[in-house]
Amino acid sequence: MVNPRSWLFCPADRPDRLRKAAGSADVVVADLEDAVHVDGKRAAREALLPVLAEDPDRASRIWVRINNDEHDLDDDLAALRGLPVAGIVVPKAESAVLREVSSRTEVPLLALIETATGLWQARELATVERVRSLSLGEYDLADDLGVAAPEVDAEPLRWARSRVVAAAAAAGLAPPPAPVSVELADPDSYTADTQRLQRFGFFGRMCIHPQQVARVHDAIRPGSAEVARAREVVHAADQAERDGHAVLVVDGRMIDAPVVRRARRVLDLAAADRTEPA
């Protein structure tokens, strides 16, 4: 199964936006945390429930970012219990809160690392039951670390990015979605940054605006030459397997198992691109 390319955050108290977002993004993150005023949490939960209940196919692509303070965490988990939510995003994920959420739900979790403590615990967080992957909330993390915000200078966060990617890979998790960007006015810059993050080991990206979704899909879409090459490699690998050959050569180059796996991922991604959300 191909991992989601885009994770679009939408306020949970705006069901109109949630329904529309489900028509473009691979995953919609209904946000009960930062996007909802402190006095509107209960209303946001009540607005979200019909969106989850009315369309099972849509609900299968809706994750919910919960709150992690004690009172709202309890209310969020109680409200979601038994509903067909695809997964839960745990903000400011640290060991204690992530393990508590894991013990109180049966759905997949994405641990959003936004604190120095959470970053230091990345390997441990990746091993918590139900965790599907990790990601970074870079703006909160940069503030906690006392470094520049990523749009000012992303260099101080390079090690944090690699740490999270390595922790997810070491635990056998899905590759992390790349962190959000506040860039809306310069699509070329956003596309280049998204492609750069894929080279770091992220896959896809978390988005804060619908315009970013198509840009993410474009940024990671394999080109026709790349797809053709991947087909050639996979075909040769399958033929070598049938013939019982351990050594594979394509166009005069030795091809090993990691190259074949990458080629299969390219074909999976190309196939996913032809089946955009309805």
- The token pair that represents 183 in the structure block: 């860039």
Residues 6+ apart with CB under 8 A from 62: 18, 22, 27, 28, 29, 30, 51, 52, 85, 86
Query: Coil, strand or helix: which one is 132?
Result: strand
Please tell me the predicted confidence (pLDDT) of residue 278: 38
Q: Where are the beta strands (DSSP E) in 75-211?
A: 87-90, 109-113, 131-136, 205-207
CA–CA distance, 220 with 228 (Å, rounded to integer) = 16
CA–CA distance, 17 with 210 (Å, rounded to integer) = 10
- The token pair that represents 67 in the structure block: 């709150």
Ranges in the chain, pLDDT < 70: 1-2, 223-224, 226-227, 230, 240, 245-247, 252, 266, 272-278
Please tell me the predicted confidence (pLDDT) of residue 271: 77
Gap between the terminal Cα atoms of the chain: 18
Neighbours of 171 (CB within 10 A): 17
Please tell me the predicted confidence (pLDDT) of residue 1: 41
Contact 104, 68 (CB under 8 A): no
CA–CA distance, 86 with 277 (Å, rounded to integer) = 15
- Domains of the chain, by residue range, sit at 6-220, 224-273
* CA 165 to each of CA 22, 232, 239: distance values in angstroms, whole numbers, following the listed order: 27, 29, 33
Please tell me the predicted confidence (pLDDT) of residue 88: 98
**Fold of domain 6-220:** TIM Barrel (3.20.20)
Neighbours of 78 (CB within 10 A): 11
Beta pairing partners, 253: 250
Burial 27-47 (b: 16+ CB within 10 A, else e): bbbbbbbebbeeeebeebbeb
Please tell me the predicted confidence (pLDDT) of residue 181: 96
